[in-house]
A and B are shown apart, each in its own frame.
Chain A
C-alpha cells in the first residue's frame, strides 16, 4: 500500500511544492505561505498529506531495512533492533502527521 501511495502521489506533490516556483514552471507559487495556508483549510488536503506522509514513512523504512540487511546487517538481534527503530520512526512520524492534520481543524 505504501508503494502505491508513494508511486502515484509523491512525484506530482514534490514537483508542485518544491520545483515549480524555483524553476518558474507554474503560474503561481503553490508552496507560498498564503497559498498553502488557504489550501490547508480543506479536510481533503489534510487527509491527503496524512496519508502521503504515513505511507511514505512505512514504505521507505521498510525498504531501508531490507537495504541494510542486504548490506550485511544480519542476525536476529540486529534485525529486531532495526525493526524497533524503523517502525518507531514510521509510527511516530505518522502520528505527527495526524496531529498536524487535525490541529486547527478538530482542535487548536
Chain B
C-alpha cells in the first residue's frame, strides 16, 4: 500500500481562535518587523553616506506623524517579540547551568535584568551616554 502525505487542513484565521495563538502570531510578526527595521537601518546608513541633506531628509520622513505613529506600533511589536523571546528562553533553557531546569519565571527575570544591563551598555558604549 503506497504511503500518502497527510495534508493538515487549517483555516487561514486559525490564530484568531485563541488568545495564545494571537500572542504567538504577534510574536512572529515582531520577528518579521525586525527584518524590516534592519532594512530601514541599512537605508539610514546609505543616506548617511550620501551626505547631510539626504540623511536629514530620511530623518524628517521618519518623524512625520503618519510614519512616526506607524513606527510606534511596529516598535511595540518588536518589544513584544523581545519579551516573549525571554519567556521562551525561560521555558526552553537551551543552556543549563544546573542539573535540573530552573523555574521559567526565574530565568525570565534574569533575562530581563540582563536586557536592562545590555541596554545600559548600549546607551553608554554606542550612543555616548546621556
Say whether B78 contacts A11, CB under 8 Å: yes
Say whether A40 contacts B81, CB under 8 Å: no
- Are A16 and B42 CB-contacts (below 8 A) given A11-B79, A22-B68, A40-B48? no
B6 to chain A, nearest CB (A): 12
Say whether A39 contacts B126, CB under 8 Å: yes
Say whether B28 contacts A63, CB under 8 Å: yes
With A and B bound together, what is the CA distance between A63 and B125 in angstroms? 30
**A8, CB-defined interface residue at 8 Å:** yes
Main secondary structure of the interface of B (DSSP, over half): helix
Main secondary structure of the interface of A (DSSP, over half): helix
**A45, CB-defined interface residue at 8 Å:** yes
CB neighbours (8 Å) of B7 from chain A are 74
**A82, CB-defined interface residue at 8 Å:** no
A104 to chain B, nearest CB (A): 7
Say whether A100 contacts B75, CB under 8 Å: no
A38 to chain B, nearest CB (A): 8
The interface of chain B, by Cβ under 8 A from chain A, is 7, 12, 25, 28-29, 31-39, 41-42, 44-46, 48-49, 52, 55-56, 59, 62-63, 68, 71-72, 75, 78-79, 81-82, 85-86, 114-115, 118-119, 122-123, 125-128, 130
5 A-B pairs closest in CB distance:
A60-B35, A63-B31, A56-B38, A12-B119, A100-B45
Q: Can you name 30 A-B pairs with beta carbons within 8 Å?
A: A4-B85, A7-B82, A8-B114, A9-B122, A10-B34, A10-B78, A11-B119, A16-B123, A18-B68, A19-B71, A22-B63, A22-B68, A30-B127, A36-B55, A44-B125, A52-B38, A52-B41, A53-B42, A54-B38, A56-B35, A59-B35, A63-B32, A64-B31, A71-B12, A74-B7, A93-B42, A96-B46, A97-B45, A100-B42, A104-B49
